[in-house]
Amino acid sequence: MLWGDEKRLCLLYALTPIHAGAGQALKAVDLPIQRERHTAWPMVQASGVKGTLRDWCEKAWENNGIDKDLVKYIFGRAGEEGGSWAGAVTVTDARLLLFPVRSNVAPFVHVTCPAVLKRLREELSLLGLQDKLSENYSVGEEEYIVLKGGISGEIVLEDMVVKPKQTQEKTNWLPNNIPEAEKILLVSDEVFGYLVRTATEVQAHIAIKDDTGTAEDGSLRYQEYLPADTVLYFLAFFSDERSKRDQFKSAQEIAQLVTEHGVTTHLQIGGDFTLGKGICKVKWIAPKDSQGGAK
Q: Mind listing the pLDDT tens digit for each residue in 82-101?
A: 566 778 999 999 999 999 99
Asked if 1 contacts 232 with a C-beta cutoff of 8 angstroms, the reply is no
CB contact set of 279 (below 8 Å; sequence gap of 6+): 14, 15, 16, 266, 267, 268
Residue 1 domain-assigned (yes or no): no
Residue 294 domain-assigned (yes or no): no
Local confidence band at 127 (pLDDT 50, 70, 90 cut-offs)? confident
How many domains in the chain?
Answer: 1
Q: Mind listing the pLDDT tens digit for each residue in 97-119?
A: 999 999 999 999 999 999 999 99
Give the whole-angstrom CA distance, residue 29 versus residue 204: 9
Residue 22 domain-assigned (yes or no): yes
For the cut 50, the answer to whether the pLDDT of residue 284 exceeds it is yes
The better pLDDT of the pair 3, 262 is held by: 262
In the chain, % of residues over pLDDT 90: 64
pLDDT mean over 120-127:
90
pLDDT mean over 132-146:
88
Distance of CA 271 to the CA centre of its chain: 14
Predicted pLDDT of residue 29: 85
Domain range enclosing 282: 6-289
The better pLDDT of the pair 172, 15 is held by: 15
Predicted pLDDT of residue 210: 73
Predicted pLDDT of residue 207: 77
| Pairing verdict, β 43-44 and 94-102 | antiparallel
Of the listed ranges 120-134, 150-164, 210-224, the least confidently predicted one is: 210-224
Q: Mind listing the pLDDT tens digit for each residue in 154-193?
A: 999 999 999 999 877 778 899 999 999 999 999 999 999 9
Predicted pLDDT of residue 13: 99
Predicted pLDDT of residue 249: 86
Give the whole-angstrom CA distance, residue 112 versus residue 130: 18
> In 10 A of CB 232, how many CB atoms?
25
Supply the pTM of this predicted model: 0.91
Q: Mind listing the pLDDT tens digit for each residue in 229-250?
A: 999 999 999 999 877 676 778 9
Q: Mind listing the pLDDT tens digit for each residue in 22-80?
A: 876 657 788 999 999 999 999 999 999 999 999 999 999 999 898 878 898 899 876 55
